[in-house]
Structure 1
Amino acid sequence: MSRPLGLSPESSALPRAGADYAEDYFAWTQDQVAALKAGRHDRLDLENLAEEVGDLGRSVKREIASRLNVLLVHLLKWRFQPAFRSSSWTGTITEQRGQILDDLDESPSLRPYPAARLGREYAVARLKAAGETGMPEAAFPPDCPFALADILDRNFFPEAEA
């Protein structure tokens, strides 16, 4: 009988106690959770735990920045290519806003973060919008034409440029 994924008969679905961070990340995480819940602080890998907790915070910030970028690209396309508006664009705009707002609700200390990232994300979004639309970069304003409150407003869809 063949074993899927090279599992040996000794393998189990449960992590082994004292799992090594570098050898089996998932098993390590489960071992650390079990040690925390059991109050077994002597089994905690404090150095790697500290690194992972720090990475969690950074990953939320990266997610907000990435979603803000996608949102800006779609708002630019919505405004500057009204003939191509679609339910797909509406869905993307709605999804990105919702996820950003959810992240900010879960981590209120990050509420100022989108404003701090807006200029940088807009500069990249402008380039992406130019590439995706085939329009010259100069067709898009050099500075973000949308207020952050509008960008995150579930009901805001910019009108076409007159």
Structure 2
Amino acid sequence: MQGVSSNLSLKELYEIDDHLWLEETIKLLKANHLEKLDLENLIEELENLGRRDKAKVASFLEQIIRHLLLLQYWTEESQYNSGHWKAEIRSFRNQLKRNLTTNLSQYLEKELASIYDDALGYVIDKTEGKLDNLPQSCTYTLDQLLDINYLPENV
């Protein structure tokens, strides 16, 4: 490790400065010095990266669902908030599109029911339980949720 004190192991560096650890790990990978890698922490970081990516796209999708439900079912507030909800839907779709990969899309498809349940709970709390017409399971397809132009018809 050229930029780091020779007395410091890569494992020790990870505990002190994870950003510097990452830079050194990248240098080792580029130089094909695989035997010098801190595999334990590298694996942990890669697993964390995967979890963060999944959480990020799931959060964007949940936000889309929340706003679609509000737009579609909270008619008493629609007059005042529909423009805001539509703008939020577009914004979250754009952010999701920037982060979506084939694998993450498959993950969202698999987790759609759970993500919907979380969004539904939020909408129930937000509307203080006033809406008795909310579907208990997701009526949107993933394609609809990702489609920049899709908006549901009001019930």
TM-score interval, normalised by the smaller of the two chains: 0.7 to 0.9
Higher relative contact order (CA 8 A, sep 6+): 2
1:64 touches 1:100 (CA, 8 Å); kept in 2?
A: yes
Q: Residue type of the partner of 1:45? A: D
How far residue 133 of structure 1 moved from its aligned partner, in angstroms, is 2.4
**Equivalent residue runs for 1:1-162 within 5 Å:** 16-17=4-5, 18=9, 20-81=13-74, 82-104=78-100, 107-136=101-130, 138-161=132-155
Instruction: Structure 1 unaligned segments of length 5 or more: list them.
Output: 1-14
Q: Hey, what's the Cα distance between the residues in 1 that align with 2:51 and 2:95?
A: 16
1:78 touches 1:89 (CA, 8 Å); kept in 2?
A: yes
The size of the alignment, in residue pairs, is 145
Please give the per-residue CA displacement for 1:52-86, whole angstroms capped at 9, x wherever unaligned.
11222222111111111111101001111222334
How far residue 37 of structure 1 moved from its aligned partner, in angstroms, is 2.3
How far residue 102 of structure 1 moved from its aligned partner, in angstroms, is 2.7
Write 1 or 2 for the structure with the bigger share of helix: 2
Q: Residue type of the partner of 2:88? A: T
How far residue 31 of structure 1 moved from its aligned partner, in angstroms, is 1.5
Instruction: Structure 2 unaligned segments of length 5 or more: list them.
Output: none
TM-score (norm 1): 0.78
1:115 touches 1:148 (CA, 8 Å); kept in 2?
A: yes
